[in-house]
Structure 1
Amino acid sequence: MKRIIVLLLTIGLVSCGSSKTVRDSKKVIKGDWTLTSITYSKTGKYNVTLLNDTNKDCFEGSTWQFVPNNNTGTYTINESSCSTGIRNFVFTIQEVNADNGYYDFLLKPTNEKNKSDTNQGFRLKLTALSDTDMQWQQTVSGNGEPFIINMNFNKKQK
């Protein structure tokens, strides 16, 4: 009976852990990134507030730091015409479909102590991740039609 219980506990612990692909993704994402561009799947001018913070023009050029060992990070708005400064967040990467390479990237803005005032988070698709580039996608609605926001990052090389 003891062996069965130990076996079940072991299976439970293994199944609750992150997949190897998610662990590898966390290693790649660790470090400093720049949000180089934000593009839309449809042409036009859109007034989009990203992450309930600020607009596209303010986010482009922002610097991001990811610390995967405790799933925290910061981003800094650098555009002088915007409300500049450091913002904190917690994040997780969840494997959605390993066959097509899509992962959910869950990001929740927090204060300096990693506590959320609103408990609101954002689900983005992590559609590309390499040692130098990363892309997030978010599907939103504009004029009653869905369109995709692409957030393109470059990793700062040391």
Structure 2
Amino acid sequence: MKKVFLVVVLIILSVSVVSAAKYDRADGFGLGLSGGYPVSGLAMKYGMGDFRFVGTFGYSVRDNGAIEFGVQYDLDNSSIGRSPIYLNIGFTAAMNFGPEIDVFSVNVPIGFSYYLRNAPMELFFKLTPGIRIYSNSIEPDLGGAIGFLYYLNR
């Protein structure tokens, strides 16, 4: 898995270097990888200014396969050098699937998105406090993820 991740990162970085455009923030459809909890796997984001639809399809470290979906809003921005960094908040729901579908979580991700200046690429980090809902109980939940997205239509 680590080798596949490294190859994907190297390919995207190689393609990104060819681009001569300047980006403040990538909008449109982004595709990449996310590692963490509640869901690790293929990450997707569709952005329109400060508002974004988000999703991750993959697996959960506690259970089998999982899917996460929701929305995100960029609250504030600053910069590191000339590259923008955004503080964002959202609302997501995640569901685990496998032998039994008995776990559902509701989260309020708080994170940072860093957009590369010379490529349509986003690096992100998020903390995801929330609750996990089982078929017979509810408990607090805390997760986090780190990942990257490459925006295809820029």
Shorter-chain TM range is 0.3 to 0.5
TM-score, normalising length: structure 1: 0.45
TM-score, normalising length: structure 2: 0.46
Query: Which one has the largest radius of gyration?
Result: 1
- Structure in which a larger fraction of residues adopt helix: 1
